[in-house]
Amino acid sequence: MLLFVILLTLTLQPALSKKGQTALSKKGQTALSQQRCVNDYLNPDQYEAFLKKHLNDKIPNGVEISDWQTFIDNKKTWNRKTQSFFPKSEYDKVLGVCSTGGKIYPNTVKLNLCISNDPLEFITVHVDTANKKVTEVKQMNQHVILACEKIENICRPVHFKANINNAKPDNNQPDCSG
């Protein structure tokens, strides 16, 4: 019986620890938030999905709505109201956000976010999902916020988060190198 209790405790320990993370003090949150890309991510397909969504070789040059209309139609991504794309020239910088090219982005919800040290260029496309129409295309140049996870022993981006408050990196935060 004692052996069963010990095994049950060891099995439940990681789940209990994760539950407790949401109620951490600000000091504990900071210590935990500095843990980027420590464990292997459970869904490595998210990195490939990120690349397909945001670093596509075939993105149009410029902000001509008709070009983006055709592009979005070919991709069949009318279900996403806001879509952001990086030009190929930004590829290394985007990947670098998850290492020395980014700082930990402190917040209370996600513990895996990093913000780029420098502004990056990208295009944001707004879509009328009901009518399958591109309504606006904007050339952007701002710090980007990415969720980063350890995949194949490398810290990689898995999600693009809108920087709606035009946040800047905090140079007192550590790099996102893990």
Residue 86 dihedral angles phi and psi, to the nearest 5° = -100, 140
Write down the pTM of the prediction: 0.76
Q: What angle do CA 151, 157, 158 make, to 5 degrees?
A: 85
Quote the pLDDT of residue 22.
Answer: 29
- Kindly report, residue by residue over 123-165, the tens digit of the pLDDT: 999 999 999 999 999 999 999 999 998 888 888 999 999 999 9
In 3D space, the residue among 141, 157, 140 whose CA is nearest the CA of residue 149 turns out to be 157
> Which residue segments constitute the domains of the chain, with CATH numbers given?
40-178 (3.10.130.10)
Most confident of 23-27, 104-108, 148-152: 148-152
pLDDT value at residue 42? 66
